[in-house]
Amino acid sequence: MEPKTDNEGEEKPEDPPAVVRHSKFYKNHGDVILQVEKTLYRLDSRVLSDLSEFFSELFSLPQGVHVEGKTDENPIIVQMVTVEEFDHLILACIHVEWSIPPHPVKRHLDVLKLATMWRFPDYVKDQAVFELMRYKSKEFPPVEKLYLARCYDIKEFLEPAFKELCTPGATLAELSSNDIFRIGLSIYEVLTKVKEAIARDRRWFAFHAPKLSHIPRTDDCTKDQHKKCKKAWNSEWWKVMGRRILQPVDVFALNFQCSEAEDVLKSLEVPGMNPSCLGALLDFVEQSDALQFEKVHIQNGVNELIRRLEAGQLNY
């Protein structure tokens, strides 16, 4: 489209886009007219007031000579909100329409944003959180979860997001400066300390096999044989467990956050070791929760994040 020109050939500025009525949410039965960007909405003020403390306070303000919100020419201007965001909120809790899921993640993010900003009932926010928890990391990354957790005080997002960033495949080097800014220095501090503690304990565990001296010698194992059992156990531990623990390629590294480490340990066959000694030692390791160190560090980190969230210390 060519720009308009006057008689002297000078360009004239384009006319601003006209304000239009929303095709679905300009309701005949509505009694208040709102303008979001260049779109007019006509809604029921009583419904908005019942749902939102913000709108309740807005509609109770004293009006001057020119009452806002009664005509298209003088609507109530809603700032800092897009048409898409407002539509998503209306569909979620005012003019609810069922549609086949899954819906775009942004739909629930918009509801969460506006429901928080305009002080809607907790159930509106809780429903958005419930829906967002159903998305996989590719659609709703852990960094985004942690950002929302600290912005909107959402405890439910902390644990799954933090656990995901603590997996061997999630390195701190992969976090961009913007990622760190979004999760905040407080969360980043806890994350780095937990990952360092896990890395330290993995190195220690790789080089220190559970000691055979922790269990009594079985009746069918002589003293001389027991010495051989110890040597065979230490050797096999390093060959199978130690190397897997220190494996630099994450996909091959032994995972302690699921049952993989336990399964590998239970399947160990140690040539030269008395079967009774091996069985007793494996039982001891399992009962001692020695393989749970990563889960313990991560849970401690999650607990610290929850404590900071409740104390209002995740806002930086």
The DSSP annotation for 49-92 comes to HHH-HHHHHHHTSPP-SS-TTSBTTBPEEE-S--HHHHHHHHHH
Q: Is 143 inside a domain boundary? A: no
176 contacts: CB under 8 Å, gap ≥ 6: none
pLDDT digits (tens), the chain, 316 positions = 555 555 555 666 666 679 999 999 999 999 999 999 999 999 999 999 999 999 999 999 887 777 899 999 999 999 999 999 999 999 999 988 777 777 899 999 999 999 999 999 999 999 999 999 999 999 999 999 999 999 999 999 999 999 999 988 888 999 999 999 999 999 999 999 999 999 999 999 999 999 988 888 888 889 899 999 999 999 999 999 999 999 988 888 999 988 899 999 999 999 999 999 999 999 999 888 889 999 999 999 999 999 999 999 987 7
Q: Is 5 inside a domain boundary? A: no
**DSSP category for residue 291:** G
| Same domain as 223, residue 130 | no
| Same domain as 168, residue 118 | no
- Provide the 3-class DSSP secondary structure of residue 170: coil
Which range of residues forms the domain containing residue 249? 154-315
| CATH code for the domain in which residue 64 is found | 3.30.710.10
| Same domain as 100, residue 158 | no
- Sheet holding 39-43: strands in order across? 20-26, 39-43, 32-36, 76-78
Q: Is 160 inside a domain boundary? A: yes
Tokens matching residue 14: 């384009």
Residues of 53-80 as b/e, b for ≥16 C-beta within 10 angstroms?
A: eebbebbeeeeeeeebbeeeeebbebee
| Same domain as 268, residue 160 | yes
| Same domain as 279, residue 199 | yes
Instruction: Count the neighbouring beta carbons within 10 Å of the beta carbon of residue 169.
Output: 11
Q: Is 6 inside a domain boundary? A: no
| Same domain as 280, residue 171 | yes
| Same domain as 190, residue 103 | no
| Same domain as 158, residue 131 | no
| Same domain as 239, residue 122 | no
| Same domain as 182, residue 115 | no
* Helix H or strand E encompassing 114: helix 105-117
Q: Is 149 inside a domain boundary? A: no
Instruction: Give dist(CA 92, CA 124) in Å, integer.
Output: 8
Q: Is 15 inside a domain boundary? A: no
| Same domain as 306, residue 187 | yes
Q: Is 202 inside a domain boundary? A: yes
Residues of 207-223 as b/e, b for ≥16 C-beta within 10 angstroms?
A: eebbebeebebbeebee
189 contacts: CB under 8 Å, gap ≥ 6: none
| Same domain as 308, residue 194 | yes
Q: Is 194 inside a domain boundary? A: yes
pTM: 0.83
The DSSP annotation for 131-150 comes to HHTTS-TTTS-HHHHHHHHH
- Number of domains composing the chain: 2
**DSSP category for residue 11:** B
